[in-house]
Structure 1
Amino acid sequence: MLWEWLVMPQGLKNVPATFNRTVSHVLRPLRAFAPSYFDDIFVHSRAEDGLSAVDVHLRHLRKVFEMMRENKLYANLKKCVFCAPEIPVLGCYVSKSGVRADPEKISSICSWPTPKNQTELRQWLGLANYLHKYTKDYAGLIQPMSSLLKKDVAWDWRPEHQDVFDAVKKSLASAPVLMLPDTSRPFHVVCDASDFAIDVLSCSLMLRVVSAS
């Protein structure tokens, strides 16, 4: 007698990729306002055609729910957030104003004590690297600390390393809100490189409306 799973069981190594591919395929017709990442669906809406943002949002939610029902996908109501001005997305908070870093992650990084060995430094950099886009010239800034992680390099924490450590903390403590890309404007790609880092920036120029001096 042969048995066949009715649904994919947990524990198989290809479950995450298969599930992500399935959800992406199901929601493909709605991706303009409902992108997904694994089991998270982010529905975003704005006022249009004389309707308020809330009315448009409710319309979008209905389309998402109908698509989920047709494909037997189920949502956990306790984990759902509706009509929120800001939502957490992969360690950041996204709103119409832009993308800001998660305050809890910033607090964890800024409260981290001075590393005493390579393991502790590697752990701290693992946290800080996740929010590197909020620190200007991050790769160049941390280069002195990164050099301590090279093979066969003896641990020697000097004042210059402490200065860099404190500078990254200070930068993240005042992390800016990053603007969302405006696809109606042309994008420019800016590149730079040095002996120990490369930098690529995709940006769009904002028009100055009013200026005074």
Structure 2
Amino acid sequence: LDRDEWKDSAVAYQDDVGLWTDGGLKDHIDKFVKLAQSFKQAGLTFAAKKCHLAYKELSMYGYIVGKNGLQVDTKCTTLIEQWQRPICVRDVRSFLGVMNYYRRFVKDFSKIAKPLTELTKKDVGFRWSDEQDKSFQTLKTLLAENVMLKAPNWQDAKNGVRPYQMYVDMYDISLGVVLEQADENGRLRPITFESRKLNAHELHYTVTEKECLSIVYGCNVCERYVGVMTFDIWVEHQALEWLFHKAQLKGCLMQYVENLLMMVEIEGTKMQDLEAIKHYLTNFEWPAHVTNESLPRLRRKLKIYCLIGGQLFRRAAKGKPP
């Protein structure tokens, strides 16, 4: 498939192709015919028995994919609910392998699964206690709830109509991230749950350092959704405010500032100014809406911004927050 031609209506994965449309049945059929013609020209054929046309949702690779979002296939949740208690390390690895495939549906997966992952380490004997059993049962229960992950609305997020909401948290042993967006009724719905364990070095971080680390982790792991859009970050600790107002930063905290250069909430006039500066750096002329009164301010700001790979970055003085 030509990625540019089909990027908004089709995707190929291994030997399967998914096609979606939102313009009605005629539009759906027209695009399918066009897709079939592309395959014919390439000397490829469809297996008629495997073609499913005009469905509101489809089961693919253990998921139910539909207009409203993504869910775990109920056949899979049923099998996992019936999973027998592991009696050896191999059983634990098998269970965790399946659960890892669906980990984005489980909030704080790394924290909950830790008693089980510890059993898979080298030179650790198999010992099943209440702690492991609780972890095992909790993971099965949470997946059985079959949370639907919302399909992100890129346009609404970009326009600020329904911006992404990122909730980050840290625990003694792990980091957790929830990315949400409001639906048409204004109700916040999850897009993904992300988490990871802290490594041996990170376990000794201070509370502030761990909270800063969770923010950086959240931005990195959710980059495919948020890109460089404006979005809200919610943290229990005042890590972000402290980070950007501390006079001198060293070590990992300085690295966090560098990673968070673009992570400042921008509203109103500030956003308009940035759009104008980006337009100037791209086209070497100011956009039509820029007034004579705003030009001096924009020219001053122009000195501290640069364009890299089509994205706008703010220059930061060494050792100082942006």
User: Normalization by structure 2: what TM-score?
Assistant: 0.52
- Structure 2: runs of 5+ lacking an equivalent: 158-163, 188-322
Which residue, 111, 131, 135 being the options, matches 1:140? 111
> 89, 97, 101: which one pairs with 1:130?
101
Deviation at 1:193, TM superposition (A): 4.9
CA contact (8 A) 1:35 1:43 kept: yes
Tell whether 2:5 aligns with 1:29. Answer: yes
Distance 2:118 2:142 in 1: 21
Structure 1's 179 and 58: CA in aligned 2 closer, same or farther, altered over 3 A? same
Deviation at 1:195, TM superposition (A): 5.6
Matched, 1:183 2:182: no
C-alpha deviations, 1:148-198, integer Å up to 9, x for none?
Answer: 111111111101111111111111111211110101133465555556434
Query: Which of 62, 65, 80 matches 1:94?
Result: 65
| 3-state SS in 2 of match to 1:114 | coil
In structure 1, list runs of 5 or more residues that go unmatched.
1-23, 48-52
CA contact (8 A) 2:107 2:178 kept: no
Q: 1:160 aligns with which of 123, 131, 148?
A: 131
Q: What amino acid does structure 2 have at the position aligned with 1:72?
A: G
2:78 — aligned with what? 107
Other-structure match for 2:174: 197
Matched, 1:170 2:141: yes
8 Å CA contact retained: 1:27, 1:67: no
Q: Alpha-carbon deviation of 1:90?
A: 2.3
Give 3-state SS (helix, strand or coil) of 1:57's partner: helix
Residue 205 (structure 1) shift: 4.8
Aligned pair count reads: 181
Q: Give how far 1:69 is off.
A: 1.6
Matches within 5 A, 1:52-131: 53-131=24-102
TM-score normalised per structure 1: 0.76
**Aligned mates of 2:92, 2:154 — CA distance in 1:** 39
* Contact 1:135/1:175, CA 8 A, preserved across alignment: no
Letter in 1 for 2:146: A
Equivalent pair of 2:10/2:17 in contact (CA under 8 Å): yes
* CA displacement, residues 75-117 of structure 1 (integer Å, 9 cap, x when unaligned): 1111111111111222101111211101121122111111111
Give the alignment's Cα RMSD to 1 decimal.
2.2
Equivalent in the alignment of 1:8: none
For 2:20, the equivalent position in structure 1 comes to: 44
Asked if the contact 1:101–1:131 (Cα under 8 Å) also holds between the matched residues in 2, the reply is yes
- Contact 2:69–2:148 (Cα < 8 Å) also in 1: yes
CA drift at 1:31: 2.4
Identity among equivalent positions (%) equals 24
Contact conserved, 2:107 with 2:176, CA < 8 A, in 1? no
Q: 1:149 to 1:139 in 2, by over 3 A?
A: same
Larger Rg: 2
Change (3 A) 1:41 1:203: same
